[in-house]
Chain A
Amino acid sequence: MNLNLTLIGQLIAFTIFVIFCMKYVWPPISGALAERQKKIAEGLDAADKAARDLENAKSQIEDELKQARTQVTELLEQANKRSSQIVEEAQDKARAEAEKIMASAQAQIAQDAAQAREALRADVAKLAVVGAERVLGATVDQAAHKKLLAELADEL
């Protein structure tokens, strides 16, 4: 094995290749790698944030749904109450009306009955007079027996 100028030549070539690599190869590649690393980290961060946002939105939706549900229940309850109230009111009104109608009808009936009784009484008095005339064969002096007839009519 001879040691010779090759050694120096190799040393020079080595130096040149190292300098080339240092100047033109390493910086762009390691720069790109670092940048990609940053980008990926940012992307992961964004994904995390999006996931968190989604979670938040979900819980918000849940809250709102719950609220809406309670509202609906409340409204339903209110409506039910209101409707039963309305029905009750209508019932009350109807009952009052019915009572009123019944009362007026009863009053009418009572009046009619009283009238009828009055008419009947007059008729009875008349009939009594006619009957008595027939029996007696003579005219009954109404004026003379007026008192008697009134007593009779009152008895009816």
Chain B
Amino acid sequence: MALQNPTPSEYIQHHLTNLTYGYHPENGWSFAHGATEAAEMGFMAIHVDTMAWSIGLGIVFCWLFRVGAKAAHAGVPTGVLNFVELMVEFVDKSVKETFHGKSNLIAPLALTICCWIFLMNLMDLVPVDLVPYLFMVAGVDYMKIVPTTDVNATLGMSIGVFLLIIFYSIKIKGVGGFVGELTLQPFGKWMIPFNFLLEGVGLIAKPISLALRLFGNLYAGELIFILIALLPFYLQWFLSVPWAIFHILVIVLQAFIFMMLTIVYLSMAHEHH
């Protein structure tokens, strides 16, 4: 469904549609042709582009750091090891400043989040038309290359963090302690329903805000790149260059924020009130 001379709204719509494979009520298991079909598929569908790009970038991260880990020694570091150690030390420092317990999970988790999200965000700086155009030439209609502009991706990660929050809350405080934390404050035992409502919203807000903050920032950034791409080409560089430079800050910052909040939430889960 390659578009010939699309209108601006068609163009934007096209750039914001994922390559979706799923179960369509009429067509069965197939690739969706357009956003409406994708919407009709409901939950039983998967964004192939999001999955492929995110897993590919995750493998890049794992490979790079595995190379570093294999080269790791106590002597003078060189090459990849330097960079990898820099990241590890940075993450380790961030974790130690916030989280005071002992955990073998939190630091590697934070490192994975930081690097993986950064790599996924980095795809935002690839010119918006380049990859979709190449794929269109190859016969694939839709291709969104920034996984973090897909709310499924960010929510998937934040749900992972959410499960860890619940797991550690119960592990450290016990089921009773966790339930007590949810129901017995801030107003004591006579206000249990109200307390539960307050604390429940607070708890649920953690993964939701984590996911939507990242998604919103990157989605908005992507959208602005797409809008800039609609301008006459002699004006594009005038806007896209400053926006891209600004976006370098955003992609690093959002990766860092996701990591920091994960550490904070998990250290809160480890603390008794």
Do these two chains interact?
Answer: yes
Interface residues of A (CB under 8 A from B): 1-11, 13-18, 20-22, 24-33, 35-36, 38-39
Partner of B155, one of A3, A27, A30, A31: A3
Answer whether residue B72 sits at the interface, using C-beta atoms and an 8 A cutoff.
yes
Given contacts A25-B65, A33-B85, contact A10 B107 (CB under 8 A): no
Q: Give the CA-CA distance A28 to B67 in the complex, in Å.
A: 11
Pair A10/B74 contact, Cβ less than 8 Å: no
Asked, given contacts A13-B58, A17-B58, whether A25 binds B152 with beta carbons under 8 Å apart, the answer is no
The reply on B84 being an interface residue by CB < 8 A is yes
The prevalent SS among residues of A at the interface is helix
A24 in contact with B69 (CB, 8 Å): yes
Judge whether B69 and A28 touch: CB under 8 Å: yes
Q: Report yes or no: A25 in contact with B160, Cβ–Cβ below 8 A.
A: no
Q: Which of B109-117, B131-139, B197-205 contacts A (4 or more CB under 8 A)?
A: B109-117
Given A10-B156, A22-B109, A3–B151 Cβ distance below 8 Å? yes
Q: Which residues of A contact B112 (CB under 8 A)?
A: 14, 17-18, 21
> Number of contacts between A and B (CB, 8 Å)?
137
Pick the contact of B51 from A13, A20, A39 — CB < 8 Å?
Answer: A13
Interface residue B214 (Cβ < 8 Å from any Cβ of A):
no
Q: Which of A5, A16, A24, A39 contacts B46 (CB 8 A)?
A: A5
B104 touches A33 (CB 8 A): no
Q: Are A8 and B156 in contact (CB under 8 A)?
A: yes
Q: Give CA–CA (A6, B160) in the complex, Å.
A: 13
Complex Cα distance, B241 from A1, in Å, reads 28
Residues in B with CB closer than 8 Å to A31 are: 72
Q: What's the tally of chain B residues with a CB closer than 8 Å to chain A? A: 51
Give chain A residues whose Cβ lies under 8 Å from the Cβ of B47. 4, 6
Distance, CA A11 to CA B54, complexed state (A) = 11
Instruction: Take A22-B105, A26-B111 as given contacts and tell me if A9 and B39 are in contact as well, using a CB distance cutoff of 8 Å.
Output: no
Q: Whose C-beta in chain A lies nearest to the C-beta of B62?
A: A20
Chain B, 44-60, CB within 8 A of any chain A CB: 44-47, 50-51, 54-55, 58
Contact partners of A14 in chain B: CB under 8 A: 112, 116, 156-157, 160
A121 smallest CB distance to B (angstroms): 122
Question: A87 to chain B: closest CB distance in Å?
Answer: 73
Q: What residue in chain B is nearest A16 (Cβ atoms)?
A: B58
* A residues less than 8 Å from B55 (CB atoms): 13
Q: Is B92 an interface residue (CB 8 A)?
A: yes
From known contacts A7-B159, A21-B111, infer whether A2 and B89 are also in contact, taking CB-CB under 8 Å: no
Q: Which of A4, A32, A39 meets B42, CB within 8 Å? A: A4
B22 within 8 A of A: yes
How long is the Cα–Cα vector from A62 to B160 in the complex, in angstroms?
70
B157 touches A29 (CB 8 A): no
* Apart from the given pairs A21-B62, A26-B111, A33-B88, 5 other A-B contacts in the complex at a CB distance below 8 Å: A7-B152, A7-B153, A10-B157, A29-B68, A33-B92
